[in-house]
């Protein structure tokens, strides 16, 4: 069963690159802040690169104006996430998080078996809004769709 609104984001450790490889646990990532974490099945994949991440890059300032930080996550390694972020002109402050072993993805109950495509376990496409580590909004895409986890949709449906 996947995480539900009102539940605390489970503990896991992610990685990112910022002047070297860093580890960040979810308690630190989500604590004392408002954060939208959106997840994609894979860096450099078509929908993720052409629509999902670019929407959050385009609307990054709108989230920040609401006092909300933004982070992108995929079941890839930190080096791939960093390279993808650079290629997509991700603004400073938007973390590109690697869930290399799908630890957080599994803990959230949002894993996707993409073995049939040679990709192994990946994350479903979703967006999660949390305040101080408590989930206040969750938008999970149906297989093959891209609508409810888009930056535009999430901005329009943030809890007030």
Q: Is residue 140 part of a domain?
A: yes
pLDDT in tens, 10-39: 999 999 999 999 999 999 999 999 999 999
Is residue 72 annotated as part of the catalytic site, yes or no?
no
Q: How many domains are contained in the chain?
A: 1
> Residue 68's domain spans which residues?
13-157
Q: Which of 9, 40, 48, 96 is catalytic?
A: 48
Q: How far apart, in whole angstroms, are the C-alpha atoms of residue 34 and residue 36?
A: 7
Q: How far apart, in whole angstroms, are the C-alpha atoms of residue 148 and residue 55?
A: 12
Q: Is residue 106 part of a domain?
A: yes
Determine the pLDDT at residue 1.
83
Please tell me whether residue 95 adopts helix, strand or coil conformation.
strand
R_g over Cα of the chain: 14
Strand 111-113 relative to strand 134-140, pairing: unpaired
Q: How far apart, in whole angstroms, are the C-alpha atoms of residue 108 and residue 106?
A: 5
Q: How far apart, in whole angstroms, are the C-alpha atoms of residue 49 and residue 3?
A: 26
Q: Is residue 59 part of a domain?
A: yes
Q: Is residue 125 part of a domain?
A: yes
* H or E, element range at 148: none
Q: Is residue 6 part of a domain?
A: no
Determine the pLDDT at residue 120.
78
Q: Is residue 129 part of a domain?
A: yes
Q: Is residue 1 part of a domain?
A: no
pLDDT more than 90, % of the chain: 89
pLDDT in tens, 37-47: 999 999 998 89
| CATH of residue 151 | 3.40.30.10
pTM for the model stands at 0.95
Contacts of 69 (CB under 8 A, 6+ apart): 33, 34, 35, 36, 63, 93
Q: Is residue 62 part of a domain?
A: yes
Determine the pLDDT at residue 115.
82
More confident residue, 110 or 115: 110
């Amino acid at each position: 069963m996947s995480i539900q609104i009102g539940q605390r984001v489970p503990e896991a450790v992610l990685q990112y690159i910022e002047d070297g490889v860093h580890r960040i646990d979810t308690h630190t990532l989500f604590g004392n802040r408002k954060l939208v974490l959106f997840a994609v099945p894979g860096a450099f994949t078509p929908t993720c690169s052409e629509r999902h991440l670019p929407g959050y890059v385009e609307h990054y300032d709108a989230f920040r104006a609401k006092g909300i930080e933004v982070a992108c996550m995929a079941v890839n390694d930190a080096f791939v996430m960093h390279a993808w972020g650079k290629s997509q002109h991700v603004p400073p402050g938007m973390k590109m998080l690697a869930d290399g072993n799908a630890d957080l993805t599994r803990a959230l109950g949002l894993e996707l078996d993409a073995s049939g495509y040679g990709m192994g376990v990946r994350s479903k496409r979703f967006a999660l809004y949390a305040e101080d580590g408590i989930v206040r909004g969750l938008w999970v895409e149906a297989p093959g769709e891209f609508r409810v986890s888009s930056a535009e949709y999430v901005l329009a449906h943030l809890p007030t």
